[in-house]
Amino acid sequence: MDVLIVLEDNNGKIHRMGLESIAAGQRLSNEMGLTAGALVLGGNADGLADQASAYQLGEVLKVNDALLESYSADGYSEAVKQIIDQENPTYVLFGHTYQVRDYVPRLSAKMNKPFLVDNIAIRVENGQPIFTKQMFNAKLSADVEANSSGPFLVSFQSAAFSMDAAAAGSASIRESTVQLDTAMIRTKSEPPFQEEVGGVDLTSADIIVSIGRGIGKEENIPLAVELSKALGGELAASRPVVDSGWLPSAHQIGSSGQSVSPKLYLALGISGAIQHVVGMKGSKNIVTINKDPDAPIFEISDYGVVGDILEIIPKLTEAIQALKN
Amino acid sequence: MSEREVLDLDVLFVGAGPASLAGAIHLKRLLSKSGTEASVAVLEKASEIGAHSLSGAIVDPRALRELFPDFPDTDLPFEAEVSEEHLYYLTENKKIPFPFVPPSMSHHHCFVTSLGKLTRWLGNKCENEGVDIFCGFAGTKLLYEGEQVVGVRTGDRGIDKNGEKKPQFEPGADIRAKVVILGEGTRGSLTKNLIDRHELMQGCNPQVWAVGVKELWQMPSGTVPPGYVAHTMGFPLGQAIFGGAFLYGMQNDIWDLGLVVGLDYQNPGVDSHHELQRLKNHPWIRSLLSAGKMIAYGAKSLPEGGWYSIPKLSVGGAMLIGDSAGFMNGQRLKGIHLAMKSGMLAAETTAEALATGKFSESDLADYDSRIASSWIRDELWKVRNFHQGFDRGLFGGLANAGIGLFTGGRGWGIKNRLSSEAGHKKMQKGVKKNRYQDLQFDGTYLFDKVTDVYYSATAHEEDQVPHLKIRDQDVCVSKCTEEYGNPCEKFCPANVYEMLPDGDGQRLQINFSNCVHCKTCDIMDPYQIIDWVPPEGGDGPVWVNL
Amino acid sequence: MKIAVLVKQVPGADSQLPIQSNQNWVDEGAVAFIMNESDNYALEEALQIRESMGEGEVVAVSLGPDRIQKVIREALAKGADRAIHIQMDTEGVIDPLVTASIFAHALKEENFDLIFTGLQSDDLGMGQTGIILGEMLGMATASLAMATELGDGKIKVKRELEAGWFQWVSLTLPASVSIQSGLNTPRYPSLKGIMGAKRKELKVVTPNVVDATQSLEKVYLPKSEKQTVLIEGSADQIVEKLVETFRNEIKVL
């Protein structure tokens, strides 16, 4: 196969970003006339292979190995390398997950082939793919080219592709084997655990509900909190809200706060001052509600509503809750 | 680490501007010539040299040539020699050239310069001479033994917005020095304290200031002649407000556009940032700039009072140099060469004091004498009544300046010394006509204040006590609103002060993080209740070539 | 215990980033540079380890042109014992295989027990150099450390995972670990530290450069060809359309 899509395990289900990579891989192979397949490995490889086979792919490779039951950078990078040596794909695609960041650089070094990371887009020009990534905390975009021959390791940013664009189909499953030995694995992982994050990490949120001065007063903030809960997102704010002391600075987005690019950025009562916009304009979908039709934020929004947030928020919360129940 | 660090030095300059850096270089050379060992350091609140340096500027190379006599002009850090100069009177739509440029206002043989670039260059030379430059440290308190200054304490770091110590808290350091030389720039905070404590302004005219705001514009390749100089009067300020605009051509196709506004206007609604945007509406300016992109913004205050507003310059253990002392030629709009020379003269006094081991007030008064017999005095004496003439408006001021050219600087041709009044006292009560009714910010050519502030790259540690101390905030929400309409919202070029609705009344919000350290608020507040003190070291603008 | 900390000088968060006319890179003359944020945390972590062990050496290492000496001296002022400056014009160099191999060549004789790097640089954001370097020098690796615990011949690292999950990983030494911001409180340099930095060893070396496997075509401002879709109507109609948009267009419901 020309395009090998490496899928990740998320507690027995294919990680969402793996499904997004399938969408990416399918598009790439369609545009360039290539064949695509997927690879699953680790303790849940069998279950993952079954799920992967429901997508339009040439085939699904699965690797079961005792030394891969638990993730390790050494084990995974070596295993994937061997599969790549066996299958000789030109492109190896990944979602840019924490796990991928941990082991794929090792893979790149072992193979001396480039790892083109965290792409937000890919386009084909003169038969060659050009990879676009963000630089300078998403202030600038950059087109990156591979200089060597393949295989090329490529990862995609969360929501750069939509998992719903992954076409369904039916793929055969093939068992593959790798040769690993305990000596090559120099790390030992304990089981993952969850912790109350001390700060608010907005950078990994897929949905952000952000409030600006238009929220009016501190007493209205619970409305936004309810909406963010209903949507399953995180609450954020522009500077004036934090300066007024209505929310802690950990929620601040902008040049003196956090920089985010979630799947959905819902801006409520935010005017769009440049200090704020630089922190969120990389968001995949920006939906704005503001009663001022001249607010600069409309210029960078995908969807805009000129309206009263205090009227719309509670109704929106109710409608979403009804949908989910 | 919560023990106060104590450092013993011989000489400490406060503020890494042209005055201190020239002074430190000169001092080190004098010391090495006399074979004296002495430790010399410079304290700078910005995270790096040049980050808080802003000026027009056109530099008279006199002091630099004295300091570096072997350097050809091409080795000095200028943008370009002044290649053409213009003086215009602007109306809203027209530009009328002055029939000639008086020689004393000429910038012939001077150099368009970026102060940031100049100070970085001087900083390098300074370090090569073995001077320690401590960036990211703010001098917040003078250390005394009796009435003798014996050092400077730097600001605490790691105090949260409630005044509580954070985990990384570090108390400020005590830097003990035999001589402390204050080159903090206009309205320096330690300078303010020194002047008050020792009554150094006694017998002097009160200092009068102006604020300069500027934008840098990146233009298409090959469209800006480096060394181009234009100064204007008239629009947008009119007759009653002191000031004027400047337009300088820098290298790399950058237009440097600025406006100086005297901080002695009567209308409390005057807003220097807004005046700069109005200036850009002039068709001539628009024709020059509209194809470009604004890339930087900043502001600074300037001492306009002249010779008679310069305080006594020395006390036991301390001296004042540069803008802190008020060395600026308002007529030529030049102060950098005077600042550097003053630093060098202070260095000479210091070298002698180190040789004798005596640093009392009478010993350091040698500096005042050196200034009085230097070309600084010669130059400033001729324009000693320049600013005062503008109390009679623009044409009065020009007439006074003109007459002064022939009478060696006498006020109105006859008076040796014209008095002045502190600028904030000139502000009149009552709401005046709104000068900005027709001003519309489009966000691409005319910018609102908040957007311009973004281009000053100013940032402050958010979790700290605001560094703008207001002695009585009740005045802000009641008396000041009635009497002056809260001019802080207008005179601050960085949107630091905002009156916001609060229930039935209002409250003052201090967006200290926007502060560009210009000191206008400390100068212009009509009740004189604002005290600007340095924020945490390293905070403030991050100017690259302003 | 020898610890290397790789520090990079990058444009500050609020710096202007004017793009060169050939779009190859930004005009560095107009940029305000600082030490990469996560590198600062990595340096602090190394200093704290040296302090808690009561022995050891922290070496600051940096790759770049003359201007990077500022961050090297900052690292020395904060407490690094000595520094290595691999002097090279790095404009246009984005391939972490190249930078890592330059570091590997310069550092392999040093035999560091630990190499700390920031998780990624705030300019390029490739996030790989430390891990690749670990592979090249035959070290165990882990990324995005939110805490470290040194043991006997081992280091335990708390890896950050998605969405508030973490995992402790034990690595045999020598190890290369990339450090996440926020795991400690970086110290300020003291005045004596700044003065003392001048007297510490700063070795300048030339790089051993290999061919790049990936390169930068161009940089540009992100395209904003957004056609804002206006949603209109009564509040109820708007809410209905929003829910539909969230569901079918944006696909978050």
CATH of the domain at B515: 3.30.70.20
Q: Is A30 helix (H, G, I), strand (E, B) or coil?
A: helix
Higher pLDDT, B396 or B139: B139
Please give the average per-residue pLDDT across A129-157, as a whole number: 92
The pLDDT of residue A198 is above 70: no
Q: Which of A76, A99, A115 to mutate to test the interface with C (most CBs of C within 10 A)?
A: A115
The pLDDT of residue B3 is above 60: yes
Q: How wide is the angle at C-alpha B415 spanned by C-alphas B412 and B420, nearest 5°?
A: 85
- Interface chains of chain C (3 or more CB pairs under 8 Å): A, B
pTM of the model: 0.91
The pLDDT of residue B1 is above 60: no
Check residue B105 and give its pLDDT.
Answer: 73
Lowest mean pLDDT among A74-83, A197-206, A293-302, B52-61: A197-206
Nearest to B542 among C12, C29, C185 (CB): C12
Confidence at A199, pLDDT banded by 50, 70, 90: low
Question: Is residue C30 less than 8 Å (CB to CB) from chain B?
Answer: yes
Three-state SS sequence of chain C: CEEEEECCEEECCCCCCCECCCCCCECHHHCCEEECHHHHHHHHHHHHHHHHHCCCEEEEEEEECHHHHHHHHHHHHHCCCEEEEEECCCCCCCCHHHHHHHHHHHHHHHCCCEEEEECCCCCCCCCCHHHHHHHHCCCEEEEEEEEEEECCCEEEEEEECHHHEEEEEEEECCEEEEECCCCCCCCCCCHHHHHHHCCCCEEEECCCCCCCCEEEEEEECCCCCCCCEECCCCHHHHHHHHHHHHHHHCCCC
B127 and B272 inside one domain: no
- Interface chains of chain A (3 or more CB pairs under 8 Å): B, C
The answer as to whether B71 is a domain residue is no
Question: Is residue A243 less than 8 Å (CB to CB) from chain B?
Answer: yes
**d(CA C198, nearest CA chain A) in Å:** 31
B38 and B130 inside one domain: yes
The pLDDT of residue A217 is above 70: yes
CB C56 within 8 A of CB C3: yes
**d(CA C89, nearest CA chain B) in Å:** 21
Percent of chain A with pLDDT over 90: 78
Q: What is the CATH number of domain A202-324?
A: 3.40.50.1220
Percent of chain B with pLDDT over 70: 100
DSSP string, B254-303: EEEEEEEEES--S-TT--HHHHHHHHHTSHHHHHHHTTSEEEEEEEEEEE
The pLDDT of residue B7 is above 80: yes
B177 and B292 inside one domain: no
The pLDDT of residue C224 is above 80: no
The pLDDT of residue C228 is above 70: yes
CB contact under 8 A, B132 and C194: yes
Nearest to C192 among B7, B48, B166 (CB): B7
Express each pLDDT in C82-141 by its tens digit. Answer: 999 999 999 989 999 999 999 999 999 999 999 999 999 999 999 999 999 999 999 999
- Counted domains in chain B: 4
Express each pLDDT in A88-118 by its tens digit. Answer: 999 999 999 999 999 999 999 999 999 999 9
CB contact under 8 A, B450 and A275: yes
Express each pLDDT in C156-203 by its tens digit. Answer: 999 998 877 899 999 999 999 999 998 998 998 999 999 999 999 999
Retrieve residue C177's tokens.
Answer: 């670990």
Q: What is the CATH number of domain C2-205?
A: 3.40.50.620
Lowest mean pLDDT among B102-106, B415-419, C31-35: B102-106
- The chain-wide mean pLDDT, for chain A, equals 93
The answer as to whether B322 is a domain residue is yes
Confidence at C15, pLDDT banded by 50, 70, 90: confident
CB contact under 8 A, A256 and B443: no
Identify the sign of the CA torsion B290, B292, B295, B298. negative
Check residue B146 and give its pLDDT.
Answer: 96
Percent of chain B with pLDDT over 90: 84
B38 and B127 inside one domain: yes
**d(CA C27, nearest CA chain B) in Å:** 11
**d(CA A255, nearest CA chain B) in Å:** 9
B357 CB-near residues (< 8 Å, 6+ apart): none
Check residue B168 and give its pLDDT.
Answer: 83
Check residue A97 and give its pLDDT.
Answer: 93
Chain B residues with CB-CB distance to A255 below 8 A = 454, 459
B222 and B334 inside one domain: no
The answer as to whether B538 is a domain residue is no
Residue-number span of the structural domain to which B408 is assigned: 386-421
- Distances B98 to B85, B230, B331, B396, B529 between C-alpha atoms, Å: 11, 11, 16, 16, 42
Identify the helix (H) or strand (E) that includes residue B144: strand B139-145
Question: Is residue C10 less than 8 Å (CB to CB) from chain B?
Answer: no
Check residue A162 and give its pLDDT.
Answer: 85
* C178 CB neighbour count, 10 Å cutoff: 30
**CA–CA gap between residue A31 and residue A36 (Å, rounded):** 12
Domain boundaries, chain A: 3-184, 202-324
**CA–CA gap between residue C20 and residue C67 (Å, rounded):** 19
Would the ipTM clear 0.95, i.e. be above it? no
B221 and B286 inside one domain: yes
Express each pLDDT in C41-58 by its tens digit. Answer: 999 999 999 999 999 999
- The chain-wide mean pLDDT, for chain B, equals 94
The answer as to whether B255 is a domain residue is yes
Confidence at A47, pLDDT banded by 50, 70, 90: very high
Please give the average per-residue pLDDT across B519-530, as a whole number: 96
* B275 CB neighbour count, 10 Å cutoff: 24
Domain boundary among B302, B329, B352: B302
The pLDDT of residue A215 is above 70: yes
Domain boundaries, chain C: 2-205
The pLDDT of residue C226 is above 80: no
Q: Which of B8, B44, B542, B546 to mutate to test the interface with C (most CBs of C within 10 A)?
A: B542
Check residue A115 and give its pLDDT.
Answer: 98
Confidence at A197, pLDDT banded by 50, 70, 90: low
The pLDDT of residue A20 is above 60: yes
Domain range A3-184, its CATH number among 3.40.50.620, 3.60.130.10, 3.30.450.20, 3.20.20.70:
3.40.50.620
Nearest to C125 among A135, A197, A323 (CB): A135
The answer as to whether B33 is a domain residue is yes
Chains B and C form CB pairs within 8 A to the count of: 64
Check residue B129 and give its pLDDT.
Answer: 95
The pLDDT of residue B25 is above 60: yes
Three-state SS sequence of B184-214: CCCCCHHHHHHHHHHCCCCCCCCCCEEEEEE
Please give the average per-residue pLDDT across A271-299, as a whole number: 90
